[in-house]
Structure 1
Amino acid sequence: MNLFERLLHRRLCNEQSTEGGQAATASTGATDTSQGTGETQQQTQVQDNAQGTESEKGSETQKTEAELAAEKEASDKAEKDKKPEGAPEKYEFQAGEGVELDNEALKDFEPVARDLNLTNEQAQKLVDAYPKILAGVQQRQAEAWQAQTEQWAADVKADKEIGGDKLTANLSSAQRALDQFGTPELKEYLNGTGLGNHPELVKAFIKIGKAMSEDGMVDGSNQGQRSAAEVLYGK
């Protein structure tokens, strides 16, 4: 091999060595790049798995809360079902402090409570309220009656037939008749109830008193005078 051939051979060897190194370097770079890409994919997959796990945990938490709410609702319904509703087989009422139960009124009330399907507790509330309601009704009735008797007295005073200037004389005649024929119990009743103020009753006693003054009364010896029955009933 001459000198020219040696130089050519060396140059060819150098070129082959350079191309081989570049190829190796490219291969190594590709390998590194592939490894980096793989690591990146692994990291991304780990993050996705973590996010998926947290999402699943959140879903499980929500599901648990929903289940708890459903369980609570079922428990409340079961508790409500345990409580007796509607009318019991027998009502048992308790008297309040200082109050005596009206047994006769309860006999009338129980069928109504049963017809309304009231529980014992509901019916007891009405029984407790009854004395207060009754007291209020009685108070209003008493006030209304008082106003009525006062109006009667005012009507007597203003009456054209027996009132005005003639009132004093007419009331004297009525009092005389009441003293003659009325018992103490009748007088007490008329005064206590206020019926003694009723215009028609006052007029009736006035007429009796005047009849007594004009005709006198039968005393057993005077047969020509009118009797009490004749004065009262026109016999």
Structure 2
Amino acid sequence: MNLFQRLLFRRLCNEVSVDGGEGGGGAPAQAPTPAKQEVPANGDTPAPAGTEPSKANDASSTKQEDTDKKPVSTAPEKYEFTAGKGQELDKEAIAAFEPVARELGLSNEQAQKIVDVYGSTIMPQIAKQQEAAWQKQVTEWAETVKADKELGSVESIGNAQKAMDQFGTPELKQYLNDSGLGNHPELFRIFSRIGKAMSEDGFVSGSSENARSAADVLFGDSK
């Protein structure tokens, strides 16, 4: 073995000893295969391991963004509302509306617009619906009186008119006509019975020993 062969042999022995352990019997060590990273479906290159953004940082960033997006309240210390022309402010409705307006952070101008819409549009519509419902009720009462054999008779109507003429004031007659309560079956019934009692008992409006008082006719003899 010449000098060149000896040097080459010694070099090979040293490499085997370092990589394969004592005796040089081990197989040459292989470099570890890096873990395969999955490529996202959208084709973006995944971030290297260990460089993903912290979830805590994401949560903090989201919270900060939500805080930034939250509207700044412009609600005044006290709301000052004015009623529209020919209108009056509903104190109870205003008292219920103010806390809501303050919670929403409405300025006085924004809240006033809602008050204006309520007074000029919503309230008239509600009043119109209530009026229609009341007129329907008054019509039903009148139909009930006409359909009743006792109340709808000519005699019963005459008796009710007699009682009204005797005891009813002009103001009461006007109110019953305007409100429609004069058509209420039970109110009509009591006036009819009063008129009938007046006819049967010989009631007279002047003074007389045999005449019964108005209280006796209306409420019965207290004796």
**Shorter-chain TM-score: what band?**
0.5 to 0.7
Q: Is the 8 A contact 2:72 2:105 kept in 1?
A: no
Verify: 1:174 aligned to 2:129, yes or no: no
Taking the aligned partners of 2:201 and 2:211, their CA distance within structure 1 comes to 6
131-140 or 121-130: bigger deviation: 121-130
Question: How many aligned residue pairs are there?
Answer: 152
Verify: 1:118 aligned to 2:98, yes or no: no
Question: Per-residue deviation at 1:115?
Answer: 4.6
Taking the aligned partners of 2:86 and 2:81, their CA distance within structure 1 comes to 12
Amino acid at match of 2:203: M
Change (3 A) 1:221 1:129: closer
Superposition RMSD on alpha carbons, in Å? 2.6
Q: TM-score, normalised by structure 2?
A: 0.59
Change (3 A) 1:88 1:219: closer
Partner residue in 1 for 2:184 = 198
Unmatched tracts of structure 1, length 5 or more: 1-76
Unmatched tracts of structure 2, length 5 or more: 1-64
Q: TM-score, normalised by structure 1?
A: 0.57
Change (3 A) 1:90 1:219: closer
Percent identical: 56
Taking the aligned partners of 2:205 and 2:83, their CA distance within structure 1 comes to 60
Question: Per-residue deviation at 1:156?
Answer: 0.2
Taking the aligned partners of 2:105 and 2:173, their CA distance within structure 1 comes to 50
Question: Per-residue deviation at 1:90?
Answer: 2.4
Taking the aligned partners of 1:90 and 1:172, their CA distance within structure 2 comes to 61
Correspondent of 2:144 among 155, 164, 168: 155
Verify: 1:106 aligned to 2:94, yes or no: yes
When Rg is computed on C-alpha atoms for both structures, the one with the higher figure is: 1
Q: Deviations over 1:65-109 (max 9, x none)?
A: xxxxxxxxxxxx9xx98x85252222243555x454527353553
Taking the aligned partners of 2:207 and 2:73, their CA distance within structure 1 comes to 82
